[in-house]
Amino acid sequence: MPKLMLALVLFATLATPAKPKTAAAVTRDGQHDFDFELGTWTIDMTRLQHPLSGSTTWTHPEGYTHIVQKLWGGQASLAQLANDRPSLHFDGLMLRMYDPRSHEWRIYWGSSKTGTLDEPMIGHFTNGRGEFVMHDTYEGKPILARVVYSDITSTSFRTESSFSADNGASWEPNLVQTFTRMTK
């Protein structure tokens, strides 16, 4: 094909307007997905004592407060976890950032014990349920870690953290939290 004709075909292809996207093809803007969580919460928590070991012993830590504030008009949020019990004192934070290109959230966890942020969990909300996953290690072995947000109302919500040692074929819950609103 002569160069001029090839150039005209290429130009015609590039100049053809794109077909409009159908409603099903448009990805939902989820930058306000965590707005339900703004405010101060108490946490009823149960924790599996020894995950991925066959253990069925759960503990019930008490005294945790969860404080969440919006950043960047909702495109990010900062959640602070504090415990008012001196013997069990632990402070942590979650920095959550929304990526408008991928329509996914990245959740970074940091604690007062390490002074660093972990690699992010990545995910999104669908039909009122948020699922966030990351590759991690537990006791030196590679695992997947997952957190699911569910049962969201204006006064409460639930999270369940799980580990998978078989690349997501099965999940073992290791932390279940029910949050109850104190203030908005």
Going from N- to C-terminal start, the domains of the chain cover 34-183
pLDDT band for 21, please (50, 70, 90 cuts).
very low
- Cα distance between residue 71 and residue 95, in whole Å: 10
Place of tokens 């972990």: 118
Q: pLDDT (tens digit, 9 = 90+) per residue, 63-92?
A: 889 999 999 988 899 999 887 765 555 678
Taking residues 102-108, what's their average pLDDT?
A: 95
Residue 131 or residue 10, greater confidence:
131
The overall pTM is greater than 0.75: yes
- Cα distance between residue 122 and residue 145, in whole Å: 10
pLDDT for residue 182: 95
Taking residues 136-153, what's their average pLDDT?
A: 96
- Cα distance between residue 69 and residue 85, in whole Å: 23
Taking residues 10-37, what's their average pLDDT?
A: 58
- The count of C-alpha atoms lying within 13 angstroms of the C-alpha of 75, restricted to the half-sphere facing its C-beta, is 7
- Cα distance between residue 120 and residue 57, in whole Å: 28
**Contact between 125 and 33 (Cβ < 8 Å):** yes
According to DSSP, the residues that pair with 181 across neighbouring strands are: 41
Does 34-183 carry CATH code 2.40.128.20?
A: yes
pLDDT for residue 115: 85
